[in-house]
């Protein structure tokens, strides 16, 4: 038992067995770091291989798993489940910008954490780039007694909750049930949780003095809702090479308290989020069942779809609202909610339901470290299988593009480029679509300051002509460069845009000029290239809704 949930209670008669088994598979893959073999899933879940295969096929159809030979890997789309909880919670949206300002001011990593049973779960991260990284992932669950936020949350526990915490400590003394936490060591010591709770109650803040692991220290301050309840804690994390516990408190506490005061003002002034309830979320499951037959577990897919009925402006829903949003019959939605509540992913009160932080355990932690190259590579591989030429992803770095992901074709004569390679942006198709996305003033300044050298006899070096080409690339949404970077090399590229519509990268297909004419690139390759970019963007938009996705 990792956190105080309802999983120790008898299974309700109306619980949906396939949904319980499917969630067990997701949890095992998540705890394994996001990827594991199907054979290991059989061993760790105790399910039959045929059952695991059907569950995996269902998740693959939903876009939550990518099956590769005998293994299964979580995909960014799975984060829509955690996003439903985070959107309903609103804390990342409302307090995230203030958290980022605080991290910049302190030059330390800063997190937002919420209570999850007798654990602490992170819902927002703002990290600092250092060789020695001191960060947890969104969705990570830590034992309350080994964290700075834990004593702040435990102050509100009932006697029953304290009993369950002691039972968990006795059953799991090394914290093996917390995948993100190193096991306890013989050097673990210091005040007990009860003493730390009493101290935190008097001080209004709490410390973690190397309780998670040697060298790591943290300071936490509670954030209160307008009605006075502790809704989350702000935690600033450092290392003993940068601070002692005393200097951490002395240096950081006043500034953290000031930021918390601003956060509490934000919560008081926040307006209710607009509610745009989805409709018919589960309608596609019938078609999937008809197409895949026994390989598609419809009750599993519909049960997880219930989680996505919640979201921004919809933190609490009645059974009727869940049924209407999903398109499920009330009886079907009710059984799914009963199952999810039994497992601890949903809580009920006054005939309404809400998601719990435990939803973040469904893949959020491993997927929150996803990079744009991670997202793009499987889609590039599928594109290469279709067009039979190499495909790449690149970002704009100064005056150059830099390759960050690449899938090569198996041809004897192919374009040989490695990840990290840089080329002048003006002479590359990916560079042109990225330059075309710059604001007009920035683009004009770039053209005025950049030396345009002829790399081949075909390279465009006249600033006015290049400006015209960039305008065209911006209007048409693609760029085709023909033997300007290297003789015999032809490539076509389109941008990849983030949730704000900004081009953060570009994808291209490159080939020898003898493979296709320029006209054929437009008719045969461009539609496939655009479809690939759209799939990358769809994953990026889900994965990047509440976490930063590095472009490299």
Distance CA 365, CA 188 (A): 25
- Please say whether the beta carbons of 526 and 532 come within 8 A: no
So what's the pLDDT on residue 413?
Answer: 46
Q: What is the pTM of this model?
A: 0.92
Burial (CB < 10 A; 0-12, 13-18, 19+), residue 189, is: exposed
Walk along the chain (552 residues) in steps of 10 and give the mean pLDDT of each run. 55 96 97 96 96 96 92 96 96 96 94 96 85 71 95 95 94 88 66 92 94 91 96 95 92 97 96 78 82 90 95 95 93 97 96 97 94 97 95 96 92 69 96 97 93 95 96 97 94 97 97 92 97 98 94 86
Tokens of 41: 């899933």
List CB contacts of 89: < 8 A, sequence separation 6 or more. 114, 123, 315
Separation in Å, CA 130 to CA 220, 236, 488: 21, 15, 42
Tokens 């009932």 found at: 158
Distance CA 137, CA 127 (A): 10
- Please say whether the beta carbons of 183 and 174 come within 8 A: yes
Q: Residue 238 in 3-state DSSP?
A: strand
So what's the pLDDT on residue 129?
Answer: 66
Tokens 């079907």 found at: 332
Report the 3 state secondary structure along 121-161: EEEEEECCCCCCCCCCCCCCEEEHHHCCHHHHHHCCCCHHH
In angstroms, how far is CA 179 from the centroid of its own chain? 17
- Please say whether the beta carbons of 480 and 518 come within 8 A: yes
- Please say whether the beta carbons of 334 and 94 come within 8 A: no
So what's the pLDDT on residue 185?
Answer: 67
Report the 3 state secondary structure along 303-348: HHHHHHHCECCECEEEHHHHHHHHCCCHHHHHHHHHHHHHHCCEEE
Distance CA 122, CA 56 (A): 28
Beta strands, E only, 173-326:
206-209, 216-224, 230-239, 316-318
* Torsional sign, CA 113, 547, 36, 306: positive
DSSP state of 63: T
Question: Which of 495, 513, 515 lies closest to 505, judged by CA?
Answer: 495
Cα-based torsion angle of the residue sequence 347, 353, 357, 362 in order, rounded to the nearest 10 degrees: 100
- Please say whether the beta carbons of 356 and 82 come within 8 A: no
Distance CA 374, CA 102 (A): 29
- Please say whether the beta carbons of 204 and 198 come within 8 A: no
- Please say whether the beta carbons of 124 and 111 come within 8 A: yes
Tokens of 434: 């990225």
DSSP line for 387-429: H-SEEEEEEEETTEEEEEEEE----SS-----TT-EEEGGGSH
List CB contacts of 206: < 8 A, sequence separation 6 or more. 148, 149, 150, 151, 152, 196, 199, 200, 219, 220
Separation in Å, CA 1 to CA 119, 170, 172, 264: 11, 11, 8, 33
Geometric angle at alpha carbon 217, from 213 and 218, rounded to 5°: 125
Separation in Å, CA 144 to CA 157, 166, 173, 207, 230: 11, 12, 13, 12, 15
* Torsional sign, CA 7, 10, 16, 22: positive
């Amino acid at each position: 038992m990792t956190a105080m949930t309802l999983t120790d209670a008898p299974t309700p008669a109306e619980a949906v067995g396939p949904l319980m088994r499917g969630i067990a598979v997701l949890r095992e893959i998540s705890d394994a770091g996001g990827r594991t073999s199907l054979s290991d899933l059989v061993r760790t879940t105790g399910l039959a291989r045929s059952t695991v295969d059907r569950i995996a096929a269902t998740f693959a159809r939903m876009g939550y798993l990518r099956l590769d030979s005998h293994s299964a890997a979580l995909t960014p789309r799975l984060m829509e489940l955690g996003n439903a909880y985070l959107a309903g919670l609103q804390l990342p949206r409302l307090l995230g910008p203030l958290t980022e300002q605080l991290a910049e001011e302190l030059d330390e990593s800063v997190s937002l954490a919420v209570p999850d049973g007798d654990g602490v779960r992170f819902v927002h991260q703002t990290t600092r780039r250092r060789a020695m990284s001191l960060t947890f992932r969104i969705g990570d669950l830590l034992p309350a007694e080994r964290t700075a936020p834990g004593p702040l949350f435990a102050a509100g526990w009932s006697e029953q909750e304290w009993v369950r915490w002691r039972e968990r400590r006795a059953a799991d003394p090394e914290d093996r049930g917390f995948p993100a936490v190193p096991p306890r060591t013989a050097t673990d010591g210091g005040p007990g949780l009860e003493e730390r709770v009493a101290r935190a109650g008097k001080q209004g803040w709490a410390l973690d003095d190397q309780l998670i692991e040697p060298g790591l220290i943290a300071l936490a301050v509670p954030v209160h809702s307008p009605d006075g309840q502790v809704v989350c804690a702000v935690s600033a994390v450092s290392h003993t090479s940068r601070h002692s516990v005393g200097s951490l408190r002395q240096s950081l506490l006043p500034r953290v308290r000031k930021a918390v005061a601003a956060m509490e003002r934000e919560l008081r002034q926040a307006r209710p989020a607009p509610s745009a309830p989805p409709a018919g979320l589960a309608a596609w499951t019938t078609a999937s069942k008809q197409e895949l037959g026994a390989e598609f577990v419809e009750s599993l897919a519909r049960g997880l779809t219930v989680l996505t009925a919640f979201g921004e402006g919809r933190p609490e829903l009645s059974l009727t609202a869940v049924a209407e949003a999903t398109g499920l019959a009330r009886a079907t939605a009710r059984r799914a909610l009963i199952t999810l509540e039994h497992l601890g992913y949903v809580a009920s009160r006054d005939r309404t339901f809400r998601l719990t932080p435990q939803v973040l355990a469904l893949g959020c932690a491993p997927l929150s470290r996803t990079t744009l190259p991670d997202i793009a590579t499987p889609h590039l591989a599928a594109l290469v299988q279709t067009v039979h030429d190499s495909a790449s992803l690149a970002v704009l770095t100064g005056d150059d593009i830099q390759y960050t992901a690449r899938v090569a074709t198996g041809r004897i004569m192919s374009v040989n480029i490695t990840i990290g390679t840089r080329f002048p942006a003006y002479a590359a198709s990916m560079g042109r679509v990225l330059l075309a996305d710059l604001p007009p003033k920035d683009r004009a300044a770039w053209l005025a300051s950049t030396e345009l050298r002829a790399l081949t006899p075909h390279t465009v070096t006249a600033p006015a002509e290049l400006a015209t080409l960039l305008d065209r690339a911006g209007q048409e949404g693609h760029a085709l460069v023909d033997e300007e970077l290297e003789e015999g090399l032809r490539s076509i590229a389109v941008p990849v845009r983030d949730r704000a519509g900004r081009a953060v990268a570009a994808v291209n297909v490159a080939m020898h000029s003898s493979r296709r004419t320029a006209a054929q690139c437009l008719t045969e390759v461009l539609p496939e290239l655009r479809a690939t970019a759209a799939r990358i963007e769809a994953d990026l938009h889900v994965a990047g809704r509440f976490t930063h996705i590095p472009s490299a």
